[in-house]
Chains A and B, each alone.
Chain A
Amino acid sequence: MWRIVAHRLAIAVPTLVLVSMIVFGLQKMLPGDPVLALAGEDQDPHVIATLRHQYHLDRPVPVQYALWVRDLMHGNLGTALRTGVPVTTLIAQKLPVTLQLATFAMVIAVIIGLTAGVLSASNRGRALDHIANIFALSGMSIPNFWLGILLILVVSVHWHWLPSSGYVSPSEDFWLSIKTMIMPAFVLGAALGAQLMRHTRSAMLSVLHADYVRTARAKGLLRTTVIVKHAFRNALIPIVTVLALLFGELLAGAVLTEQVFTIPGFGKLIVDAVFNRDYAVVQGVVLVTALTYIAVNLVADIVYVLLNPKLRRR
C-alpha cells in the first residue's frame, strides 16, 4: 500500500513544480514592460533601474523563477498592489469563506447525486431513471450564475424567503450564516450533483451485475439491503476519486457563485484582482487553488487505496 502512496506522491511533486512554472510564466505573458507601468509618467531612468533591480527583472528568467520559488517557500506571494496587504494574508482571510461555501455545496451535491444515482440505477429503464437523467442533463447544462439569478428572483425577490446576497460568518450568527449560504451552496452544488449522479448511476450499474450482488440476491436478502449494503458500498469506491476530481469544478464554480451572491470569498478576490490589475493576487489565487486541488486528489488517491481491499494488501 505504501508503495502506491509513495508513487502518487512522486507524481504530485513534478506536477507541483510545473504548476509553479505555469503560474510564474503567467506574468511573462503580460504585454509591455511592467516596470515602465510602475515607474509612472516621469519614466526616470534611475527609478526604472531601481524597480528593475527590486523585482529582480535585471536577472535572467531562470534566476527570476528561482528567486520567486524561494519567496514562495517562505510563504511570500507578494503584496496586493492597491492595499499593500500581503497576498498570503488576503488568501488566508478569503479562503475559509470559499471553503465553507464549497463544503456546503459538496454536501448538497453528494446528497442529490448519490441518492439520484442509486435510485436511477436500481430503477434502470423506468420512469424514475428517465426523470433522474433529465434532471442530471439539465443540471449540467444550466449555467450556475444564471441559476443563481433565477433563484434570487424567485426565492428572495418574490417569496422573501432567503437573503439575496451577502455573507455572515457562522461565529457571528450561526443561523443567519446558514440562511445566507443555502442558495449559493445549492447553486454551486446542483451542477456537481448532476455529474455525481451520472457517475454514481454508472458505477452502480456495473456493480449491480457483479457476481456477489447476484449471490446476495439469491440468498434471499431484501432488495434494499442488497442495493445499500452490497452494491452501493462498492460503487462508492470509484466515486471518491470522482468527488476529488469534481472539487476543482467546485472551486471554479465558486468564482461565479460568489460574484452573483456578493460573497467576499476566494472567487471574488481573483475577479476583483483581475480588474485592479493586481497580478500578484491573481497568481496567488491560481497557485493556492492548484495546490488545494492537488492535495485533495492526493488524499482521494490514498483514501481510494485504503477503501479498496485489493490495493490495500499490496
Chain B
Amino acid sequence: MATVSAATSAPQAPARRGRRRALAKFARNRAALVGAAIVLIVIVVAALAPWISPFDPVQADFLHVRSAPDAMHWFGTDELGRDILSRMIWGARASLAAGVVSVAVAVAIGVPLGLIAGYFGGLIDTVVSRVADALLSIPFLILAIALAAFLGQSLTNAMIAIGVSAMPRFVRLSRGQAIAVKAEEYVEGARAIGLDDTRIVLRYILPNVLPPIIVQASLTVATAIIAEASLSFLGLGQLPPAPSWGSMLNSAKDFVSEAPWMSIFPGVAIFLTVLGFNLLGDGLRDALDPREH
C-alpha cells in the first residue's frame, strides 16, 4: 500500500510547485495580461449583450440607412439602418461561441484519439496518425468550407466544421505528449503496481498532456474566431439577420467607399479579440513550457 501511495503521489508535489511557478511567470508577463484582459472584456460584453446593447441588433431603420457615426449611433448604421455597435455587441457572442465550441469539439475528439494512439501504439496509432495526416493535408479553411457546404449553412455547422478541421492538431499534439510521458518512471511504476490502462491514461498521462493542450487550445480559439469570421464573410456561417462580425464585413464590402465605418469597426473587433487570444496563448506557452525559450 505504501508503494501504491508513493507511486501515485510522486508526480503531484512537483506538479503543484510547477503550477505555482507557471502562474507567477504568467502574472509577470505584461503582454499576456493585456491579452487576458482583452479576452475578459470580450467575454463580459458578450455575456451582457441584452443589457448593454443600445439598440435591437436586427431591427431595420430605413430612415437611418448607412448613417455615419454620431451621438445616437456611435459606430454608425449599416445598409438597413441597424445600429453597428449593437450588432457588434451581439456579434461577440457568435465569435466567442464559434471559437470556444469549435475548439471544444476539436479537443473532445482529438485528445482522446491522440492519447489512445500514443499510449497503445501499433496499428491503432498508424491508423489514427494517417487519418490525422490526411485531414491536415486539406487546408483548415478549405476543409471547413467543404464541410459547411455539405452540412449546410449555419453557425452550428460552421462550428462543427471548424472543430473537425482543427481536430488533427490536437491528435498530433496529445499523441506526441502521450508517447513522451508513457516512458516516464512513474508511469512504469503505476503499470508495475497493476493499474489498468484506462486509469493510467486518465491519472498519469492526461494531466501531463494538459499544459500543451491548454496552450494549443487558446491559440486555436484565435484561429477558430478568424475561421468563423471567414466562413460568415463568405456567407457560410451565421445566417442573416443574426449578427456576426464576419457577416457584418460581408455586407460592408459592398459599401467600402460610401460607408467605411461598416467595415472598420467589426474588423477592429475581430483583430483585437484574435490578438487577445494570441497574446494569452503566447503567455501561457511561456509560462507552461519553459523549453520554448
Contact = CB atoms under 8 A, between A and B. Distances in A.
Given A30-B150, A138-B275, A259-B234, A22 B253 contact: no
A145 B249 contact: yes
Interface stretch (A53-61, A67-75, A82-90, A249-257): A249-257
Nearest to A260: B253
Interface string A113-145: 000000000000000000000000110111101
Interface stretch (A104-112, A148-156, A182-190, A234-242): A148-156
Nearest to A294: B137
A146 B131 contact: no
Contacts of B252: 149
Given A150-B267, A252-B142, A29 B249 contact: no
B130 A14 contact: yes
Contacts of B233: 143, 145, 256, 259
A257 to B, nearest CB: 11
Contact of B253 (A21, A149, A290): A149
A11 interface: yes
Nearest to A14: B130
Interface in B104-129: none
A14 B129 CA distance: 11
A152 B234 contact: no
A282 B263 CA distance: 29
A270 interface: yes
A143 B267 contact: yes
A285 B134 contact: no
Contacts of B147: 26, 29
Contacts of A290: 134, 137-138
B167 interface: no
A251 B142 contact: yes
Interface string B236-262: 100000000010010011001100100
A149 B278 contact: no
Nearest to B226: A143
* Interface size class of chain A, counting residues whose CB lies under 8 Å from the partner chain: 35 or more
Interface residues of B, number: 45
B186 interface: no
Nearest to B275: A141
A307 to B, nearest CB: 23
Contact of B274 (A15, A141, A293): A141
B145 interface: yes
Interface in A253-281: 253, 255-256, 259-260, 270-271, 273-275, 279
A252 B141 contact: yes
A283 B146 CA distance: 8
Given A31-B152, A149-B267, A150-B267, A15 B234 contact: no
A248 B134 CA distance: 13
Contacts of A248: 137, 139-140
B137 A141 contact: no
Interface in A182-231: none
A293 B267 contact: no
A279 B150 contact: yes
B279 interface: yes
A43 interface: no
B142 A270 contact: yes
A314 to B, nearest CB: 23
A286 interface: yes
A19 interface: yes
A145 B152 contact: no
A26 B222 CA distance: 26
Interface string B137-172: 111111101111111100000000000000000000
Given A251-B139, A251-B142, A289-B142, A141 B271 contact: yes
B176 to A, nearest CB: 16
B130 A137 contact: no
Given A149-B252, A270-B145, A282-B149, 5 more contacts: A15-B137, A29-B150, A146-B267, A146-B270, A293-B138
20 contacts: A15-B134, A19-B137, A22-B134, A137-B282, A138-B275, A140-B274, A143-B246, A143-B274, A145-B253, A146-B249, A153-B256, A249-B139, A252-B142, A256-B233, A274-B145, A275-B235, A282-B145, A283-B146, A290-B137, A290-B138
